[in-house]
Structure 1
Amino acid sequence: MSGMSDAVPAAPARPDRSSVQRRSSLRLFMDARYTRTDFHDGISRYGASLIGAVAPLADVTMVISDEAQLPMLPPGIPWIKVSDPTSAAEPFLARQLNPHHPDVVFSPMQTFGSAGREYGLILTLHDLIYYQHRTPPRDLPEPVRLLWRMFHLAYWPQRLVLDRADAVATVSRTSQRLMRRHRLTSREIRVVGNAPQPVDTPRDPQQSPDRTLVYMGSFMDYKNVEDLVRGMAALPEYTLHLLSRITPVREAELRDLAESAGVRQESIVFHRGVSDERYVELLRRATALVTLSRSEGYGLPVAEAMSQGTPVVLSDLEIFREIGGQDGEAARFVALDGQAAVAWPARVRELEDPTVFEVASRAAVSQAGTFSWEASARALVRLAEEVAARRSRRRRRSG
């Protein structure tokens, strides 16, 4: 998915129970088997953060496949251990869950075994990126890469997957519209949004930023990091920090590109993964977070930057308009028209005016505040209650 963070996190904080007005009696099982054991990527962070926010609102049980996942998950929540989501037992996962009698099971992915289930099921599809950009992640085994490509050659395999659920969740209104446009499911589609982690005190908008820029995300082809690298030739006094983990081969490709584009070697720094603390430190000093991705489902680093008061320079995508708000306030947009490598440095230059930067920084905090895990948790619990109620009515009618 989009918005992948390679920062090494603490476990997500759980909301204060005193602020919860109503607690559902719903027995909601939440699939945490996609939680990483070393650092959160996008799916892992989404699932863990949502679990922490839902726990005060419902009777939550986490479904894990490895006890090493527990340090990355909110503490104090009951859990059960089942098979790994990539195992041959996945199609028959219900045999392991049915004895626990959940009312509803929520999965942050759509690949969830459902044969013989006796509970409500909510599956999540984050985006439709791989229908437009069918190159799979490079670290997957070749047989999996082949299946990945075949799956995304047509929409009907996804329809079969999603229609196994009682309802489908997605992380943004943009993804919701695309799913409806392509008729990916006959089930109801609700937004259970992504969100940045809470920030106690954003950066001082009146303090001059460093001449640094931050990129957080993968280095897959659709992320268009190449145009970021080329654009640094027009910003010789700036440093671009590429924070995420990267393979040696991909790093060598980008270094060669920088050299051929006339970019100073010192202008680009490969961090190959950073801690949460270092990520926040770099964000709070930077002039902007930059990304020229050609497709996203949400764009979590964008929201994370804005929550710290850091302006963002973004490719002009529908999803970035949804997350970043209006052009010239928190976000500055760049058309992907073949001139992006020339255009984005000019948008950075606008932020060199202290007044412009201050306005953008304050607007960034305000825009980021429109997304929260608490709101997402309430949306999920409402949907799960509706799913449980519909199933209960059907049972009464049938018996």
Structure 2
Amino acid sequence: MRILVDCRYIRPGTPDGIGRYTTGLVRALDRLHPVELLVSDPRQRDGLPDRKAHTLPAPTGPGEPFVARRVNRLLGGAGGAPADPDTVVFSPMQTMGTLGRRYAVVLTVHDLIYYRHRTPPPWLAAPVRALWRGYHLSWWPQRLLLAGADAVAVVSRATGDLVGAHRLTRRPVAVVPDATDFHLPDGTPRRTRPVGNRIVYAGSFMPYKNVATLARAAALLDDHELHLVSPVPPGVREELVRLAAPNRPVFHDGVDDAGYRALLDGATALVSASRDEGFGLPVLEAMARGCPVVVSDIAAFREVAGDAGLFADPDDPAGFAAAVRSLAGCWPERSDAVRERARTQTWDAAAAALLGLLTDTVTRRRHPAGGPR
């Protein structure tokens, strides 16, 4: 079996969630089975295994619907060449072009957030933002993309349930979960108390993230500081300062992984009042460090944190504040619980799930229904 991974969604220098997902999976998958890389920028290879790489156009270009023809050529399958049942391409997104492909494809759905919250990511170019918004006005573009795959990966059961509920694909769907390498080393002593009186939020400031609830909760917690990890867009900082008064949030405007780990290691809790998530990677990262989590009561967070988490209504600042205060009497136990919950959520486990999906996909392509086995 020949496996190629589409790494073109990695943002060089400033990896986002998709980049972390791609990088973590590629590293772990390559330990189980050799991979080849598809890149659009040589810098996307930084931190990835030293394997053969093929260059394709960026995935946001106008030729993306036809990129499969270029993949056919680099695989030696151009023109009238027969399909290759032993080659499979894994994409960490669902937008990779598949028209005319002569190989197996597994596409990924992370979430369906933007069907309910249609504000596009601000870092996209204006024409791409317009297409993004139009894409999420109805379900048929999503169904059309997924129809081009042999199988679909989802990052959580919560996302898989939504894919099923909206009948987005007839292809096999399997969970290839997000994961983290933030786990404390085995033998790390049990934590008995937080080092600092801080609560940490790590995420964007898109409207659906509902950071305003956290600021209002911070106003009720005189003995805690709200630390905001990510860069803050213009105009948002002033509003959060107003909502948190008389307390004042601490704005970090971005930290590296070492700084982020240090914040989690000393925190009372990681907090998130998000209204919608496909997984919730910051929650898992905090848990892996033994940092308790106080998060909104939504399906994805329930799946990640389970009974180890504390949950509140996303519209209830007082509920968030009360949950944070409740940790004063049980912080060591909650720290133990989240760390244990996160122990098995590793990239190696995620890669094993992905390899199983890729193997099944190639097997079905070799032996279509009714054919010899």
TM above 0.5, yes or no, is yes
Is 2:362 aligned against 1:384?
no
State how far apart, in whole Å, the 2-side matches of 1:241 and 1:205 are: 21
Report the 3-state secondary structure (helix = DSSP H, G, I; strand = E; otherwise coil) of the residue aligned with 2:235. helix
* TM-fit CA distance, 1:56: 1.7
- Corresponding residue to 1:373 among 343, 347, 350: 347
Do 2:193 and 2:331's aligned partners in 1 also have CA atoms closer than 8 Å?
A: no
What CA distance in whole angstroms lies between the structure 2 residues aligned with 1:395 and 1:156?
27
Instruction: For structure 2, list consecutive stretches of 5 or more residues without a partner in the other structure.
Output: 76-85
Whether 1:283 and 2:264 are equivalent positions in the alignment is yes
Write the letter of the residue equivalent to 2:297.
D
Cα separation, 2, equivalents of 1:190 and 1:67: 31
Matched, 1:352 2:335: no
- In the TM superposition, residue 396 of structure 1 has moved relative to its aligned partner by 11
Mapped to 1, the partners of 2:270 and 2:319 lie a distance apart of 15
Q: 1:296 aligns with which of 277, 280, 283?
A: 277
The 3-state SS of whatever aligns with 2:219 is helix
Q: Please tell me whether residue 122 in structure 1 is matched to residue 97 in structure 2.
A: no
Q: Pick closer, same or farther for the CA change 1:174–1:203 going to 2, 3 Å.
A: farther
Give CA deviations for 1:8-50 in whole Å, capped at 9, x if unaligned. Answer: xxxxxxxxxxxxxxxxxx2100000011111221000000100
Question: What amino acid maps onto 2:347 in structure 1?
Answer: W
Verify the 8 A CA contact 2:205 2:233 in the aligned structure 1.
Answer: no
Give yes or no for the alignment of 1:37 onto 2:29.
Answer: no
What corresponds to 2:36 in structure 1?
61
The CA distance in 1 between the partners of 2:73 and 2:30, in whole Å, is: 21
Identity across aligned pairs (percent)? Answer: 44
Q: How far did 1:203 drift?
A: 6.5
Structure 1 runs not aligned, ≥5 long: 1-25
Tell me the CA shift for residue 252 of structure 1.
Answer: 2.8
For 1:214, the equivalent position in structure 2 comes to 200
Aligned residues: 360
- 2:4–2:35 CA contact under 8 A, matched in 1: yes
- Asked whether the equivalents of residues 223 and 292 of structure 1 are also in contact (C-alpha less than 8 Å), the reply is yes
**Cα RMSD over matched residues?**
1.9
Equivalent residue for 1:342, pick from 308, 318, 321: 318
Shift of 1:208: 4.0
Give 1:117-266 correspondences, 5 Å limit.
Answer: 117-197=101-181, 198-201=183-186, 204-258=190-244, 262-265=245-248
Which residue in the other structure is 1:80 paired with?
A: 54
Specify whether residues 281 and 140 from structure 1 end up closer, same or farther in structure 2 by C-alpha distance, changes over 3 A only.
same
Distance change (3 Å), C-alpha of 1:208 and 1:274: closer
TM-score, normalisation: structure 2: 0.92
CA distance in 1, matches of 2:369, 2:300: 40
Question: 1:331 aligned to 2:309?
Answer: yes
Answer with 207-216 or 38-47: which moved more.
207-216
Could you tell me which amino acid in structure 1 is paired with residue 354 of structure 2?
A: L
In the superposition, the TM-score normalised over structure 1's length comes to 0.86
* Distance (whole Å) between structure 2 residues aligned to residue 257 and residue 145 of structure 1: 29
Question: What is the identity, as a one-letter code, of the residue corresponding to 1:38?
Answer: G
Name the structure 2 match of 1:19.
Answer: none
Residue 84 of structure 2 corresponds to residue 109 of structure 1: no
| Residue type at the aligned position of 1:319 | A
Q: Is the 8 A contact 2:30 2:49 kept in 1?
A: no
Residue 397 of structure 1, CA deviation:
5.6
